[in-house]
């Protein structure tokens, strides 16, 4: 996906990641492939990619758990049976590279439809779940139920749930712990509001949100961190590759200091917020961007009525 350039700076890192740039002997990742990946995504959510894991200084062994780039499509509260059926058939005919994890997150009520008709190559995520075991919790969906219906992942801490629904850090952390305990992978979202960025609080906000996850989860093995600056979500105002990389490095550094060097090295940190076909290639070049969480662009091809 990204062009591995010998001029890329290789930050020193104290964890499992190499602290010096290895010889860049892996084939350079092709921009055109990356562009076609998101051009396809743009038109039909066709997902394919080159080998983004072959980045400078990010040997496979040091990249998150599976060593794979991670691309998630967050469909939010969009779609109908018919339009989602169309999206599924486009996804089923997409050419997907083997070294990219591809996950889609439909609304709860369409998960069963997606699970029963989508290729197994693409995993399914929920967009939320209840904090604990099911029971008398009207309107909620439990982790057990998500597992039962075939979900592999759940998105937790998305800014729309934090800032529109009012979920707080502790509540989200507990949800993550419970979901992991049920065997779900967690896409753990963090990110600052525009005002917080303007006040120079970006790192503090992200660290606080991270700490709530860290305080609650027993293990980071099945966690992917999604850095999604709130001001970039759905606004068309994507973070620059430098802005995103700066936070991703800080997140990795925080994990190294507060959890472990191994977790810092292995945990995938993906970027979300107005990712599309025109900007994904530059973002993916960044050393610490291990994938994307894509909202609007993942819906192209879906007729939203």
Residues contributing to the site for ligand PGA (CB under 6 A): 74, 228, 233-234, 272-275, 293-297
Task: Find the catalytic residue in 44, 123, 158, 160.
Answer: 158
Q: Which is nearer to ligand PGA, 79 or 295 (CB)?
A: 295
Residue 125 CB neighbours (<10 A): 25
Q: How do the residues of the chain divide into helix, strand and coil, expressed in percent and rounded to 5?
A: 40, 15, 45
Active site includes 158? Answer: yes
Count Cβ neighbours within 10 Å for each residue of 15-54 and write b for 16 or more, e otherwise. bbbbeeeeebebeebbbebbbbbbbbbbebbbbbbbbbbb
Q: Which is nearer to ligand PGA, 185 or 272 (CB)?
A: 272
CB of 273 to ligand PGA, least distance (A): 5
Q: Which is nearer to ligand PGA, 207 or 227 (CB)?
A: 227
Q: Which is nearer to ligand PGA, 157 or 272 (CB)?
A: 272
CB of 223 to ligand PGA, least distance (A): 16
CB of 43 to ligand PGA, least distance (A): 16
* CA atoms 113, 117, 118, 123: torsion sign: positive
Q: At what angle do helices 108-117 and 81-92 cross, to 10 degrees?
A: 40
- Contact between 251 and 8 under an 8 Å Cβ cutoff? The reply is no
Q: Which is nearer to ligand PGA, 54 or 74 (CB)?
A: 74
Distance of CA 14 to the CA centre of its chain: 24
CB-based closest residue to ligand PGA? 295
CB of 74 to ligand PGA, least distance (A): 4
- Alpha-carbon distance of 9 to 127, in angstroms, equals 36
Task: Find the catalytic residue in 123, 144, 167, 228.
Answer: 228
CB of 26 to ligand PGA, least distance (A): 29
Active site includes 248? Answer: no
Q: Give the residue numbers marked as catalytic.
A: 158, 228
């Amino acid at each position: 996906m990204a062009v591995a350039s010998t001029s890329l700076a290789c930050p020193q890192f104290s964890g499992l990641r190499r602290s010096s740039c290895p010889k860049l002997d892996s084939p350079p990742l092709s921009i055109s492939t990356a562009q076609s990946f998101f051009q396809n995504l743009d038109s039909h959510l066709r997902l394919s990619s080159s080998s983004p894991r072959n980045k400078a200084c990010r040997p496979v062994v040091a990249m998150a758990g599976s060593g794979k780039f991670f691309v998630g499509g967050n469909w939010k509260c969009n779609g109908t049976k018919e339009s989602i059926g169309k999206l599924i058939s486009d996804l089923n005919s997409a050419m997907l590279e083997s070294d990219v994890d591809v996950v889609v997150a439909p609304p709860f009520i369409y998960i069963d439809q997606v699970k029963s008709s989508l290729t197994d190559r693409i995993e399914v995520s929920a967009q939320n779940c209840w904090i604990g075991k099911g029971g008398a919790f009207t309107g909620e969906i439990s982790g057990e139920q998500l597992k039962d219906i075939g979900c592999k992942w759940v998105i937790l801490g998305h800014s729309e749930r934090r800032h529109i629904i009012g979920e707080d850090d502790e509540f989200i952390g507990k949800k993550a712990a419970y979901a992991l305990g049920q065997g779900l992978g967690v896409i753990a979202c963090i990110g600052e509001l525009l005002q917080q960025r303007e006040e120079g609080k970006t790192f503090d906000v992200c660290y606080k949100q991270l700490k709530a996850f860290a305080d609650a989860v027993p293990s980071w093995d099945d966690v992917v961190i999604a850095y999604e600056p709130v001001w970039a979500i759905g606004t068309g105002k994507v973070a620059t590759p430098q802005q995103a990389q700066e936070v991703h490095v800080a997140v990795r550094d925080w994990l190294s200091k507060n959890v472990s060097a191994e977790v810092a090295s292995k945990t995938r940190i993906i970027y979300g917020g107005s990712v599309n076909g025109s900007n994904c290639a530059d973002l993916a070049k960044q050393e610490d961007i291990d994938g994307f969480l894509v909202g609007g662009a993942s819906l192209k091809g879906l007729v939203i009525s």
